[in-house]
Structure 1
Amino acid sequence: MKCYILMGSPRKNGNTAALLEPFIDEMEKNGVSCETDWLYDMDIKGCVACLHCQHNMNEPDCALKDDMQSVIKKALECDILIYATPIYSWYCTAPMKAAMDRLIYCCNKTYMGQNGPRLLEGKKFASITSSGYRPEKGNSVWNMGLTNYSKHGGMNYIGVEGEKDHGYDHEFMSEEKAEHMRLFAREILSK
């Protein structure tokens, strides 16, 4: 089983990265291979809604040539897709949003009045976040967006697990937060 993680944080040693460590450890202990791509390190342009991807019903076939081709390939090959991102203004970071738009357009062949395939259909899908707000408040808009996104893509949305950052003068990571991430990994595997 493969888990593909799109990491939307600009900070390699930041809070979202700290949350991923116990999550990945738990996945790997359960026989899941995990691969993470850091979106801030990649060249991913925003979708231009040209609909080029809709002319090939069986392949993503995006007109923009950048690192998104690799992201799409890995997303199609995985069993579990994770979007890990800090929450900025109640939603994901800009590189994450660009990748999301491109992935859903390229993999859903439904945009030109057609009922074509949804290439991500059936995949397990979830999100891990860090935010300056309590998770239920900070993740509210993000969770709503992901619920609609996964429904549109035919994915099995497990949910979002987030943790609050109390500020730069406080230690972010704790054993309690690590345990939440391990439990979330097990929840995803059980569904």
Structure 2
Amino acid sequence: MSICILMGSMRKNGNTEALLRPFIEQLKFEGIDVQYIWLCDKHMEPCRSCFACQGIEGRPGCPIDDEMEQIYKAILEADCIVFATPIYSWFCTAPMKIVMDRLFSMNKYYGNTKRHYSLWEGKKCAIIATCGYEIKNGADLFEAGVKRLVEHSHLHYLGMLAVRDINGITDFETEEVIDKAKKFALDVKYLIL
């Protein structure tokens, strides 16, 4: 069993990474293979809306030559994808948004392909988010966007762990939050099985 974590934070050792640490530790303790990808370390260009990918069968087929190819490969190899991001202006960070837009190429619904299908159909996905507002007004729009992506791509949504930042990094290092992150890891594990 493998999980690909797409980390959208622009800051290393920030709030989102602090929330992810116990989540990843629990997954590894459970024997789950974790691939952790820092998106801000990758050279990724925005989608050009050229639709060239839609005429390519059996693979993403995006003509942009950048490190998104590694991300496509990691997603296709994983059983579950975790979108991990701080919430800026009610949505994910710019690197995460680039990835989400480029995942358009994983769905072959719009081109000259002989059939309409999703390359990653049936995969599971979850969200880990940090935000400054109440969760219902902070991470809700990102969750709605991911749920729409899940529906469109025929994935299975496993849920969201979101924690609010009130006092900075210390909010993500409390025993309560660490326990929530570990429990979410267990929930994800059992929902993947």
Instruction: Please state which band the TM-score falls in when normalised by the shorter chain.
Output: over 0.9
Deviations 1:86-129 (A, max 9, x none): 000110000100011102x1110002386422011111100101
CA contact (8 A) 1:91 1:141 kept: yes
Counterpart mapping for 1:107-118 below 5 A: 107-112=106-111, 115-118=115-118
Tell me what 2:72 maps to.
Answer: 72
Alpha-carbon distance in 1 for matches of 2:74, 2:109: 21
How many aligned residue pairs are there? 189
Cα distance in structure 2, aligned partners of 1:186 and 1:87? 24
Q: What 5-or-longer segments of structure 1 have no aligned partner?
A: none
Contact 1:109 1:117 in 2 (8 A): yes
Question: What SS is found at the alignment partner of 1:128?
Answer: strand
- Paired position in structure 2 for 1:124: 124
1:3 aligns with 2:3: yes
What TM-score do the two structures reach when normalised by structure 1? 0.95
Q: Could you give the per-residue CA deviations for residues 111-169 of structure 1, whole angstroms, max 9, x where no partner exists?
A: 2386422011111100101111122221111111111011111111112111011144x
Give the alignment's Cα RMSD to 1 decimal: 1.3
SS at match of 1:171: helix
| Alpha-carbon separation, structure 1, partners of 2:137 and 2:119 | 32
One-letter amino acid matched to 1:165: D
Residue identity matched to 1:45: E
Percent identity (aligned): 39
For the 8 Å contact 1:87–1:131, the answer to whether it is kept is yes
CA distance in 2, matches of 1:185, 1:171: 21
Query: Which amino acid counterpart does residue 110 of structure 1 have in structure 2?
Result: Y
State the secondary structure of the residue aligned to 1:106: helix
Q: Which amino acid aligns with 2:24?
A: I
Deviation of residue 57 (structure 1)? 2.0
Q: Give distance in 2, aligned partners of 1:16 and 1:93.
A: 12
In terms of mean alpha carbon deviation, does 113-122 or 124-133 score higher? Answer: 113-122
**In 2, Cα distance between the equivalents of 1:180 and 1:24?**
12
Which residue number in structure 1 is paired with residue 164 of structure 2?
164
In 2, are the aligned partners of 1:90 and 1:141 still within 8 Å (CA)? Answer: yes
Distance 1:120 1:39 in 2: 20
Over residues 40-92 of structure 1, what are the superposed CA-to-partner deviations in whole Å (9 max), with x where a residue is unaligned? 11111110111111111211111101000000011000001001000001100
1-side partners of 2:30 and 2:135: how far apart?
26
Aligned-partner residue type, residue 184 of structure 2 = F
For 1:143 and 1:10, locate their aligned partners in 2 and report how far apart those are by CA, in whole Å. 19
- Letter of the 1:28 partner, please give it: K
- Report if the CA contact (8 A) 1:132-1:167 is conserved: no
In 2, Cα distance between the equivalents of 1:113 and 1:135?
Answer: 41
